[in-house]
Amino acid sequence: MPRTRLAALALALLSALGAFWCVRDMSARIRAFLQENPPNIYAFLPILTREFTFADRVVSLTDESATGKPATLLVRYGDAEVHVPVTIPPRHKLPGLVTHEDWLRVMLFAPRSGMTMEAFEEGVRSGSIQTRLAVVSRTPPEGFDPEGWGAVRKKDWTFDFWELRPDGVVDHKTLRYPTARGLREPKPGELHENTWEFQAALLLMPNAGKKGPTHNFYGDALSAAGWRLPAAAFFGLIATVGVAFAAAPSGRGGGGGVSWRSGAAPGPVT
């Protein structure tokens, strides 16, 4: 075997060993990261009725409309009141809160990592899982048709979260659509993955399963791999090229092939 082929095989073997080491070390780091930082997966149970009880307090949601004033949804929680602006006018008059589901959700939620949805629902019914309650709304950009350009300009969407705490206090925050990509740190004031706000907002995004936010790997298990991920890809590429070079034909004529001599024209083939 020519020396060049031996050198190519040696390079492929060394590169394969390098890729194997990177993958093994990367896997160990990802496992350790997930053990120390388990992902937060939340389950959400929608509430469609306009009046119910939570934490021994009555919750009611009533449409408000007055001449010359923007329409609002009045949320009463015990002694607390919140006026939620109606960001997308309802197209049809439907029962309960279904008429507002294009832009608003009222949801019970809690972590459900390691549980099936059936087990989670049973835990909620039995009281073994303590749930939280939130009212979440989506606001499209002002001045655009919510079903036209307002649905296209996703980066201009904002989301409001009102959490109705068991002590009777209502917490409120506003977050924007996430724009950070790859391994970039999330921008202040934007939604970030691995939070209940992000997962709740997905339920208000049309076609979120197909055209949702771009995945951000900042602070997740893949970011723990560090330089080992691109190194493994690099070594794998070198190993593939080395094997291909070693197995390539020598380029010499032989067998039943037609050979060409330098300076000679091919003769007729009979």
Residue 257: the pLDDT is 44
Residues of the chain with pLDDT under 50: 253-263, 270
For residue 27, give its domain range. 3-33+224-247
Residue 56: the pLDDT is 93
Residue 173: the pLDDT is 97
For 10-26, what is each residue's pLDDT tens digit? Answer: 888 888 888 888 888 88
Alpha carbon distances (Å) from 231 to 24, 221, 244: 12, 17, 20
* DSSP result, 62-129: EEE--TTS--EEEEEETTEEEEEE-SS--SS--STTGGGTTTEEEEEEEE-TT--HHHHHHHHHHT-S
Q: 182 and 52, same structural domain?
A: yes
Residue 214: the pLDDT is 72
Count of structural domains, the chain: 2
Q: 228 and 177, same structural domain?
A: no
Q: 167 and 237, same structural domain?
A: no
Q: 147 and 63, same structural domain?
A: yes
State the Cα–Cα distance between residues 83 and 104, nearest whole angstrom.
Answer: 13
State the Cα–Cα distance between residues 1 and 43, nearest whole angstrom.
Answer: 62
Q: 23 and 51, same structural domain?
A: no
Q: Which residues pair with 82 in a beta bridge?
A: 75
Q: 189 and 73, same structural domain?
A: yes
Residue 261: the pLDDT is 47
